[in-house]
Structure 1
Amino acid sequence: MTVKDIDRDSIRHGKITEKPLREKPGFPTWAMKLTMAITGIIFGGFVLVHMIGNLKIFMPEITDGGEFKYHIDEYGHFLRTMGAPILPEETVLWIFRITLLVAIVLHIWCAFALHGRARVSRGKFARKNLMGGLNSFTARTMIVTGVVLLLFIIFHILDLTMGVQPAAPAGFEEGAIHANMIASFSRPGVAIWYILAMVVLFLHLSHGLFTAVSDLGITGHRWRAVLLFISYLVPAAVMVGNISIPLAIATGLIS
């Protein structure tokens, strides 16, 4: 006899139901997880390259006809003129920006959609007694760390990309990356905010890349071992590299 009962207690006690636990979604869960894995890898690659470029602030000044220039300013100029003269200046840079914007919108939407589906599916049967440790902590706090990173991204763009006050320091100058970073990180509150944001980035990105390995279907023992090691190595390198910049400026090592 079929019992038309969707109560999960009834299902646990062996009764049968004809109804699904939830309606079939228009955008499958596996597709959302795949989207999050791909966009997460895009972010991981971006923050790694971005960190390497920013480390040019530690390189000594260069002299061009008696005029001092900074390597990081030359790097910024290269990004703006990349593809020229075949393409107008900043074309390639805007392609990167649009790609990152689309990726972050998809990443956020899928994150909240999957979080909502998980809560509906579990109902009152929430996960308890997890193993604990760093991986369980990062898993439970992914939404929180994601929101913190979104706020940081907005502040970072207003501060060092657009120069919008009060996020940016007074005297912001377009293209003067070295001077803008010195002025911004000389503010103790901003330096501390950047350092804390990098710790949050490590927590979020390490678990995200860890999860992406499974979501992309990588099951081979050796490949999983290598990629899981990379999923912690890359975020750790980004965290240390990015923290070193505001720390060096705030302590006067770079001026």
Structure 2
Amino acid sequence: MGPDRRQLLIGSLAATTGSWPRPARAQDPAALGISLVTYPSGSFPINGLLFSPVGEARRGPMAGAAVALLHGGGGAQDDVHIFTEGALSLTAQGYHCLMPNYFDATPSQRRSTAVAARRWRKAILDGLGWLGGRPGVDPDRVGALGFSRGGSLGLDGVLEEGGARAFVGVASGGSLDVADIRHRPPVLCVYADGDPLVSARRVRERAETLSAAGVPVETYELTSPRHRFDPGEWRTIFDVAGRFFDRTLT
């Protein structure tokens, strides 16, 4: 992410936290445990947001666990508002969360090409490794939640190369050939019955394929006509995902 993209991310975060009916001090991202971070992926610096537990949450029931939050095709700045509230609900239980802008691996464009997809996937996997190396994080208790493109890229990468002990794919599928599956973490597929972009049938078929290949798969169907879910639907998604991670990242 160049300077302009970084400023977009900062601005989106400020707008998200500043719009909540919270005390003035709580609107400060640092007071909420939110910081801007950068980690390397090949020759590219990948910027993102790190959500850390604060206060008593540092000793919460899921202390030591961590989750990467992978944005969709619109970019990190588009999904800050949907991930911030969910991330804070996780950090309240002791989780650490990283939201990387994996598009930083292709600084000049976001168009999907074979080269871009490889760089994005590497940036995601490098982010998982970076997150596992953070102070207070157990590298064997790192999971990921990916929305749309982030879910497909992340799931394919984790199934082939590892890096996450559990994965939640939201409105996403993946296309990794079964023969290339080398890791089999538990997977939760969350989808909407009326999603106009990623059909429920496609997700169910993918879940069946992965299950037949020995991947432990669960599914959760939302009643919704949307691909980009509304705030209430995202709260349900993070509630379901949180319970899944509580079981799989212990």
TM-score normalised by L of structure 1 = 0.25
The higher radius of gyration belongs to 1
If asked which structure has higher relative contact order (CA below 8 Å, sep 6+), I would say: 1
* Larger relative strand fraction: 2
